[in-house]
């Protein structure tokens, strides 16, 4: 990390950190999941838990921001849980 910080006036480090701290999404996780065919620690049903996890993150975010959780989001979460 120090080498990245010193190279390119910090731009390389900023790019690396931007990737590390970017908000994850199902669209980003799905291809990674599909390419882990030989990882014995991943169960096929885990694909569904990723989607459920993202729905719960939306609900938690709304609650933290004191926003109303939509009925559609609740229904989508129940359907994927």
| pLDDT tens per residue, range 12-38 | 777 777 777 777 777 777 777 777 666
pTM above 0.85, yes or no: no
In a domain, residue 39? The reply is: yes
Percent of the chain with pLDDT over 90: 26
pLDDT at 16: 76
In a domain, residue 58? The reply is: yes
In a domain, residue 17? The reply is: no
Q: Exposed, middle or buried: residue 7 (CB in 10 Å: 0-12, 13-18, 19+)? A: exposed
Q: Which residue has the higher pLDDT, 48 or 15?
A: 15
In a domain, residue 6? The reply is: no
Q: Which residue has the higher pLDDT, 47 or 32?
A: 32
Domains identified in the chain, total number: 1
Look at phi and psi of residue 47 and say left if phi exceeds 0, alpha if psi is from -120 to 50, else beta: alpha
Residue 47 has pLDDT above 70, yes or no: no
Buried b / exposed e along 14-38 (16+ C-beta atoms within 10 A): eeeeeeeeeeeeeeeeeeebeeeee
In terms of residue numbers, what domain contains 35? 24-80
């Amino acid at each position: 990390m120090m080498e990245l910080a010193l190279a390119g006036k910090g731009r390389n480090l900023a790019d690396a950190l931007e990737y590390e701290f970017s908000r994850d999404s199902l669209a980003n996780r799905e291809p990674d999941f599909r390419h882990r065919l030989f990882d014995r620690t991943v169960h096929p049903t885990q694909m569904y838990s990723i989607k459920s996890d993202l729905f719960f993150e939306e609900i938690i975010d709304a609650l933290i921001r004191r926003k109303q959780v939509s009925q559609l989001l609740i229904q989508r979460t129940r359907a994927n849980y």
